[in-house]
Amino acid sequence: MKIRVDKIPEEGQDIETKFEPSEVNLNFRGYNLREDIAFTGRATRSDDDVYVTGTLKGSITSECSRCLASFAMPVEMAMNVLCVPERDMATREEEMADQPAVDLSFYKEDVIDLLHETRELLIVNLPVKPVCSDECKGLCPQCGADLNVAPCACELDAISSPFEKLKDLKGKLKEKRQNP
């Protein structure tokens, strides 16, 4: 959705729109939109500056980083963007550096592209390692069985500690002290 800055009334403008998965074209690190992403919010104007605030809601599919199962992840995030003309880019970036709660965006030819802002917000807020649930046990490192379904019969080798040799040395020293 594109918003024409000169068409925003003085009292502001309510915005309700949906972005189709093909429009957003997320395809980022295995993430895909499962359904339309809905945006509900408001655009308010002060001279050439436009504040766009609202909420994005939808669902994204991903692959669990532990068990590799595909799962749906609900999305609900706030959008707070100050859109300023591209010609003011240099001065406004410095001014806004102290305000982390508001994202800064630039528009040209009096048109704000909400689709671009939506896609950027989604990508920035996606988890680096998505998991299907906090209780996910993942896959067996030896046979690859899904440990969420059933335990496997593999015997895991005791993980050797880098301090194992020191522990052995300590035991030998203790023995020598007791049996001189």
Which tens digit of pLDDT belongs to each residue from 5-21?
888 998 999 999 998 88
Q: What is the per-residue pLDDT across 56-100, written as a single tens digit (0 to 9) for each?
A: 999 999 999 999 999 999 999 999 988 888 877 767 666 666 666
User: What's CA 32's distance to the chain center, in Å?
Assistant: 12
pTM of the model: 0.69
What is the pLDDT confidence band of residue 176, given thresholds at 50, 70 and 90?
confident
Q: What is the DSSP letter of 22?
A: H
Where exactly are the structural domains of the chain?
2-125, 138-180
Q: Which stretches of the chain are assigned E, i.e. beta strand?
A: 2-4, 13-19, 32-33, 37-46, 49-63, 70-85, 103-107, 111-113
